[in-house]
Amino acid sequence: MKTIVLIRHAKSSWDHDVNDLKRPLSERGLSDASLLAKAFMAYNFKPDAIYSSPAKRALSTCNIFMENLSLSEELLSIEEQVYDFGGNRVLQFIKALDNDFERVMIFGHNHAFTALTNSLGDMAIDNLPTSGLVMIHFNVETWKAVTQGTTKMILKPRDFK
């Protein structure tokens, strides 16, 4: 059994004149990411690996989750391939994951994560909001075999306000 948790980065700030990779989180983004991380703590999910896009907003969201969930920094890898907005690069990345990993968290971007939620899971969504989280289980032995899974949860910040 393989399980993937996709977390869309929290709301970013457009108040800074920086390129896309360096855009920080907004105040709302900081609070929403913390809110979701605390809510997700109740599920006692222990990942074997954590991957983040190199974008500051994704990595900041990842760090908030790791801190709230008391996850070791040794689990984290920053992956250029996750800086994807369509979903194909992230899907290729998922299919190439180390088969020793059963539970993986990935912090990234839309529209990639909405597309992956709809193509890999069994529950359709219109949009995965900022700080949104989706968990999908796959009844397979290898990541390469991942196709259609079972959506186990979708968490959104507004569900906890």
Tell me the binding residues for substrate.
57
Residue numbers in the known binding site are 57
Torsion angle in degrees (nearest 10) through CA of 136, 77, 57, 40:
40
User: Cα 136 from chain centroid?
Assistant: 11
| Bridge partners, residue 8, by sequence | 108
Give, to the nearest 10 degrees, the angle between helix 56-68 and helix 27-41: 40
Could you identify the residue written with the tokens 């899971």? 121
